[in-house]
Amino acid sequence: MDIFTQYWKEYIGSENYKSVIEQYSEPQRYYHTTSHLFRLLELFNKHKSKFSNARAVFLAVVFHDVVYDPQSKDNELNSARLLKEWIGTDQDCTIAEQYILATIKHSLINDDQDLKYFLDFDLEVLSWDYEKYWNDYALQIRKEYSRYSDSDYITGRTAVMSNFLKRERIYFSGIFDEAKARENIQKELVSLQ
């Protein structure tokens, strides 16, 4: 049994996990796919003992990109809404909803250690080896935004990535390489010029 199914049965118990996989398998996705989901689940599994509320973190991991339309500005809101529709409105769902909404700006809403890990999991890709970062992340993001002209994409992508460099810290938990993430972002920005 894969870790997704294992944790789904442990924390949720229903069989509608197939709907989640269908969402992450939509044709407009190139980076925000099941591969991204499963990578975050690997990180969840590796660091699970550090969480105070593992179920809330699991729900946030699974549902944070369950709705993904590159042309929409409401993906996080719609993902949080789908979490509530499919799972419910218990306390863990409410916490997970807050975590998902925190990915809009990838910023902390409080000093919640679980949130720090969750946000860092989502941005772990920034600290990968640059060749993998470029091929498995940056190029895949460009494909997701293929409807935009090169000029529009470069303007938008430059703004987003430059904002990460302006932050005091990209990572909050200290488990990923901050310097490598900054180096990769700088390299990508040079390639966009």
Residue-range domain boundaries for the chain: 3-124, 126-191
- Return the residue matching tokens 């080896």: 129
**Residue 66 structure tokens:** 């369950």
Instruction: Inform me whether the pLDDT recorded for 14 exceeds 80.
Output: no
Mean pLDDT of the chain: 95
Condensed to tens digits (0 to 9), the pLDDT of residues 32-68 reads 999 999 999 999 999 999 999 999 999 999 999 999 9
| Res. 3 pLDDT band, cuts 50 70 90 | confident
Q: Which residues contact 153 (CB under 8 A, 6 or more apart)?
A: 142, 145
Query: In terms of Cα–Cα distance, which of 52, 50, 66 is closest to 8?
Result: 66
Condensed to tens digits (0 to 9), the pLDDT of residues 72-117 reads 999 999 999 999 999 989 999 999 999 999 999 999 988 999 999 9
Distance between CA atoms of 147 and 78, rounded to whole angstroms? 21
Torsion sign (Cα): 135, 138, 141, 146: negative
| Res. 1 pLDDT band, cuts 50 70 90 | low
Instruction: Inform me whether the pLDDT recorded for 11 exceeds 80.
Output: yes
Instruction: Inform me whether the pLDDT recorded for 150 exceeds 70.
Output: yes
What's the pLDDT at 168? 95
Other CB atoms within 10 Å distance of the CB of residue 151: 8
